[in-house]
Structure 1
Amino acid sequence: MAVQESNQKFIVPIGPQHPALKEPGHFEFTVDGEIVTGASVRLGYVHRGIEKGTEDRNWTQNIYLLERICGICSHIHATAYTEGVEQLAKVEAPPRAQAIRTLVAELERIHSHLLWLGVAAHEGGFDTLFMYSWRDRETVMDILETISGNRVHYSANVLGGVKFDIDDKQRDMILKGIDFLEQRTHHYMKVVTTDETFLGRTRDVGTMTKEQAIALGSVGPTARASGVTIDIRDSAPYAAYKTFPINVITDENGDLLARFVVRLKELYECYRLVREMLDHMPEGELTTRVPRRIPAGETISRVEAPRGELFYFLKSNGGEKPERVKVRTPSLCNWSSVINFAVGHKLADIPMILAGIDPCFSCNDRLIKIRRANDAQVWTWEDLRQHGIEYYR
């Protein structure tokens, strides 16, 4: 971290090799003493060309590529994509496949929220909570490994359905794990709402009103903590959420504490939903046939990722490969809330304010603009490769 003086203002640059977050992002905070008076963010350090890469792979191969946009949200990315492709192909996955997709999505949400709880606690110096929540996170990771064979990239989806079934032994293991995690979540809720040191770091910090959340386009738990009643699982149900509806969790306070409370309450909702799906799992096949050549057309697919609304635009020209895949992730929508509401707080509050939106840099960094004189409108792979070689030489 370095401090520089610019026009009689002190600017504290943090990153891109970030001292707290494990992904690269560059922040500049203008400070007056310890108080932040201005903030900016520069993203794009982990651009991997995934959207462009989808155009060179067939519809099936892209499932596994798009899963790698984000490790902790791998299943929901694959779900958004497969739901969109099935819409283009006018195919509907069997009810049992839809239920298993939804079950894995809720288990992934538990995984994500417990991981976030630990990271956010660590940013506030509460390493005991960090270690406890990450220890308990192993429970849901073991469940996902038992179902799919993988602990992070589950690869449960295929076009037209899912790969894996849930048998009685797995069902019992899931229920046992959920019972344990629910008990632990009660403990975490008590800690974050009663520990005076923790409350001092979260109460009335980074407060955002409902009107501000709507104006800034915030999504997910970040918006719901400010009273915005928007959850794609409820407002535009997909997969099995039509059969197994959810209760939208909100809070009116809009501060960092509210973001903790909303995510922990969402864990209770996840546990309820998992039990309900296991008790009423539809019978039937796991897949239905999807043609290799997807009919020409375009569609959108909206799902609720752990961080908020995940939006996919898919376009087909009638071939075996997509013509365009555009992904808008929830982290991109929530960055503006960080930049706006860091102002006025102490510099020491910034790590927790950043962690409060559950940021994912890899999620947003799929696109970069390059402006050079006399450029063609469309670059080939070789053009991009040569540009990269020259840029980093």
Structure 2
Amino acid sequence: MADRSYLDWPFFEGRHRALARKLDDWAARNLSGIDHGDTDAACRALVAALGRDGWLKPTGAVGDEVLDVRTLCLIRETLARHDGLADFSFAMQGLGTGAISLFGSPEQQGWLKQTRTGEAISAFALTEPQSGSDVANSTMTATPDGDDFILNGEKTWISNGGIADLYTVFARTGEAPGAKGLSAFVVPADLPGFEVVERLETIAPHPLALLRFNDVRVPGAALIGERGAGFRIAMSVLDVFRSTVAAAALGFARRALDEALARVSAREVQGAPLFELQMVQGHIAQMALDVDAAALLVYRAAWAKDSGAPRVTREAAMAKLYATDQAQKVIDSAVQLHGGDGVRSGEVVERLYREIRALRIYEGASDVQKVVIARQTMSAFQGS
């Protein structure tokens, strides 16, 4: 049985504990038979189901509402433990509309009615072919033309690319060089000039695409916030959602630990359970330690943000770096404890092994997180 004792930690309120238990029961009933054969169809079905039953409501904030990071993290952890594609489908509804929740106009926030009910699918279009994690060097342009903007350029590795109904797109409006010259826009997928150039296949299938914008005209009302504020908007969104990536990794790690415990309890070697071997106990002990340590970092970052911290850049970076890296190790140990079955296609731990790897890259690769942590730590030291 999955460990739930962490829900008693002081990071959470009663509403968080109730939500986690309710979602766990819902996921057990609704996610076990999801067919991943057609990834696009599976994601559309998952978004519809999550929206129908109210689980997408926390992905958006309208008016005086706020994004509750602990809720987002608990949902991602729970969904990831049950089904990685369900976690992905939930996460992108939040990331894709994060800029609209935090900085959007009332008219732009009208989209949230559709994304929070699963009637529309959203995407976050930031990464470019040549810039990768170096957002300040983005080259896609948004050229003013009267009251409109004309978008030209490419975005790549865009989650939900090809199935999204709207994209939050970051482009250079040129107020200043580098990070200060970017702006954010709401771009519906049906505009002339928008093209899905290539669908990108990965070891754990997700809807991913290379997008091209050829003289795509958007009205001035599509601008999110102010011109030149795009980099700040993007970083603010990642400040909220980076911790949730760590939570998804934590969910994968918890599932791997559960699968390993079941395996070493049932498997016998020389007439005794595999668990009786001290080296196996060593693996289990390290896995349990890594899971709990990751959970502490994840929910510290989420609690800090929910408690009013203006930025949790350092805390979120620590959570993402540690939780994703340690989840990789926990899952690798689970594969090892399963022996040959661990690499058999279709086994749970084999699927987890493929699913975890991307989390150490997207929304800031592990090496980028180390740079962030080092700079934040030095800045705090110099300011003390």
TM-score range, shorter chain: 0.3 to 0.5
Larger helix fraction of residues: 2
- Give TM-score scaled by structure 2 length: 0.34
Q: Which has the higher contact order (CA 8 A, sep 6+)?
A: 1
